[in-house]
C-alpha cells in the first residue's frame, strides 16, 4: 500500500472508531464488566444555583419550576446569581424572596464561571446543583441525582439534557438527535467508570469539590465536572433527571453554540491534559475516545479523508465507491442546508448529515477563534 492509502485507512478508522467503535467497545465493557455506583436514600442539603444574565423571559418559569421540585423544603435552597443583567432579571428574582429564593447581584457581567463560583461561596448546601435559567427540570430530578452521593467515589452527577419541540430549522432537529446519541454514550460511560463531563443544564457536585482555579474557561461546566474526575472521583449519569430546553430556531444559533463549545473543547484538552496520562487507566481511554478525538482530531481528518479519497480513485475500485459515498453524504448535508427552513429539511436523511457536517465545521471555526483570541468567555445568546 502507498503512503496515501495508509493515511486514508488510518484516518477513516479513527473517524469510525470515534463515533461507532468506541460506543461499541464501551457497550461491551458495560455488559461484561459493569461497575455501577452505589445509591442510597439520604437527603443531603442541596443548593440549586441558577446563573442568570438577562433571563427575564425565562426566570419566572424557572423559579416556579424549581420551587415545585420533589425535595424536602428544609433541605433545599434556591440561589439566583444575576450577572450584569439589564432587563429586569434582578427584580424578578427578588420577587421570590418571600418563597425562600436568595438573590446575589453582580453589578458587572463577569461570565458564567465567575457567577457559579460566587454562588458556591455563598451556598449552604452539601450538594451544589447548577442549572441554566431556560432549562426546566422534571419534578423528581433532585431526588434521583442525590442518591448517588451515597457512594463516596461519586463526586458529580450529570443530568440528561433534552431538546423539546420540533420547531426551527433542520440543524435543531439534528442537534436533538445528537443529544440522544450522547445520552446513550454517557450512560455506558457511567456504567463502566465515569461519564466524561456534565452539562451545564443540570449538574450536581459535592460542594467541597468546587474549587475555583481558572476564571476564563470557555466551557466552564465541562471543566468544573472534569476537575472532579481529575481529583479521583466519578461522574455518574442519571438519565431520570432531565433538563429540557427548546430547540434553537436558526442554524446560525446552532453553529455559534457549536463553535463556542469547540473553542472550549480545545482549551479544555490542554487544561485537563493530566487526564491524558495512561496512569489514569480507564479514565484516560474514555477521555481520549469520547472527547479528545471528537473535539481535536476527527474534524481535521474529515476534509483530509475526502482529499485522500479523491487522489486514490485510480488506485483501486473500492476508492471510487468510497468517494461516491462521501460525496453522497456531503450532498445530503448541502441539501439539508438548502432545505433547512422546510419540512423536507427535517428528514433525518438530510438533517443528520447537515448537523454532523456543520458541527465539525464549527470545530474548525472555534479552534481558529481560540488561537486568534477572538473567543470570549461570555456567552452570546443563541436561544429562541
Task: Give burial (CB, 10 Å; 0-12/13-18/19+) of 229.
Answer: buried
322 inside domain:
no
Q: Give the highest mean pLDDT range of 111-115, 116-120, 373-377.
A: 116-120
143 inside domain:
yes
Q: Give the highest mean pLDDT range of 17-26, 111-120, 334-343.
A: 17-26
Mean pLDDT of 327-352: 86
The SS3 of residue 164 is strand
Looking at the chain, the whole-number percentage of residues with pLDDT higher than 70 is 94
Q: What is the pLDDT of residue 270?
A: 92
Q: Is the dihedral of CA 277, 279, 280, 282 positive or negative?
A: positive
61 inside domain:
yes
367 inside domain:
no
Q: What is the pLDDT of residue 172?
A: 59
Contact 266, 296 (CB under 8 A): yes
Q: What is the pLDDT of residue 330?
A: 94
Q: Rounded to 5 degrees, what angle do the CA atoms 128, 134, 137 make?
A: 55
Q: What is the pLDDT of residue 171?
A: 57
Mean pLDDT of 92-105: 95
Give the structural domain span for 186: 46-170+182-246
Structure confidence at residue 247 as a pLDDT band (50, 70, 90): low
Question: In CATH, what number is assigned to the domain containing residue 160?
Answer: 3.90.550.10
Q: Which helix (H) or strand (E) holds 165?
A: none
Q: Is the pLDDT of residue 382 over 50?
A: no
Mean pLDDT of 247-260: 78
Side by side, the strands of the sheet bearing 46-52 are 101-106, 76-83, 46-52, 127-130, 203-206, 154-164, 234-246, 136-137
Q: Is the pLDDT of residue 168 over 60?
A: no
41 inside domain:
no
60 inside domain:
yes
Mean pLDDT of 350-358: 88
318 inside domain:
no
Q: What is the pLDDT of residue 384?
A: 45
Q: Is the pLDDT of residue 357 over 60?
A: yes
Q: Is the pLDDT of residue 259 over 60?
A: yes
Q: Is the pLDDT of residue 19 over 90?
A: yes
Q: What is the pLDDT of residue 215?
A: 77
pTM of this structure: 0.88
340 inside domain:
no
Number of domains in the chain: 1
Average pLDDT over the chain reads 90
Amino acid at each position: 500500500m502507498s503512503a496515501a492509502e495508509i493515511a486514508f485507512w488510518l484516518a477513516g478508522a479513527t473517524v469510525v472508531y470515534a463515533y461507532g467503535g468506541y460506543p461499541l467497545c464501551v457497550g461491551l465493557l458495560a455488559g461484561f464488566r459493569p461497575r455501577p455506583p452505589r445509591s442510597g436514600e439520604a437527603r443531603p442539603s442541596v443548593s440549586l444555583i441558577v446563573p442568570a444574565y438577562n433571563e427575564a423571559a425565562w426566570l419566572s418559569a424557572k423559579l416556579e419550576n424549581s420551587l415545585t421540585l420533589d425535595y424536602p423544603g428544609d433541605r433545599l435552597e434556591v440561589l439566583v446569581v444575576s450577572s450584569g443583567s439589564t432587563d429586569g432579571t434582578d427584580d424578578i428574582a427578588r420577587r421570590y424572596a418571600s418563597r425562600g429564593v436568595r438573590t446575589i447581584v453582580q453589578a458587572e457581567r463577569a461570565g458564567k464561571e465567575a457567577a457559579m463560583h460566587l454562588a458556591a461561596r455563598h451556598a449552604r448546601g452539601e450538594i451544589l446543583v447548577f442549572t441554566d435559567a431556560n432549562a426546566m427540570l422534571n419534578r423528581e430530578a433532585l431526588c434521583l441525582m442525590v442518591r448517588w452521593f451515597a457512594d463516596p467515589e461519586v463526586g458529580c452527577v450529570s443530568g440528561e439534557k433534552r431538546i423539546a419541540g420540533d420547531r426551527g430549522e433542520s440543524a435543531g432537529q439534528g442537534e436533538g438527535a445528537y443529544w440522544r446519541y450522547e445520552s446513550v454514550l454517557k450512560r455506558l460511560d457511567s456504567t463502566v467508570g465515569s461519564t466524561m463531563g456534565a452539562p451545564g443544564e443540570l449538574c450536581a457536585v459535592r460542594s467541597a469539590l468546587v474549587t475555583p482555579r481558572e476564571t476564563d474557561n470557555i466551557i466552564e461546566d465541562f471543566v468544573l465536572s472534569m476537575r472532579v474526575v481529575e481529583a479521583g472521583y466519578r461522574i455518574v449519569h442519571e438519565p431520570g433527571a432531565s433538563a429540557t430546553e427548546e430547540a434553537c430556531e436558526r442554524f446560525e444559533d446552532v453553529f455559534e453554540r457549536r463553535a463556542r463549545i469547540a473553542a472550549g473543547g480545545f482549551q479544555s484538552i490542554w487544561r485537563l491534559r493530566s487526564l491524558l496520562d495512561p496512569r489514569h487507566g480507564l479514565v484516560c481511554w474514555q477521555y481520549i475516545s469520547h472527547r479528545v478525538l471528537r473535539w481535536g482530531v476527527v474534524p481535521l481528518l474529515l476534509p483530509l479523508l475526502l482529499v485522500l479519497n479523491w487522489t486514490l480513485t485510480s488506485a483501486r475500485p473500492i476508492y471510487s465507491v468510497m468517494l461516491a459515498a462521501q460525496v453522497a453524504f456531503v450532498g445530503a448535508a448541502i441539501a439539508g442546508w438548502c432545505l433547512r427552513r422546510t419540512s423536507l429539511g427535517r428528514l433525518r436523511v438530510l438533517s443528520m448529515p447537515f448537523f454532523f457536517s456543520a458541527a465539525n465545521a464549527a470545530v474548525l471555526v472555534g479552534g481558529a477563534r481560540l488561537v486568534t483570541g477572538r473567543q470570549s468567555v461570555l456567552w452570546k445568546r443563541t436561544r429562541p
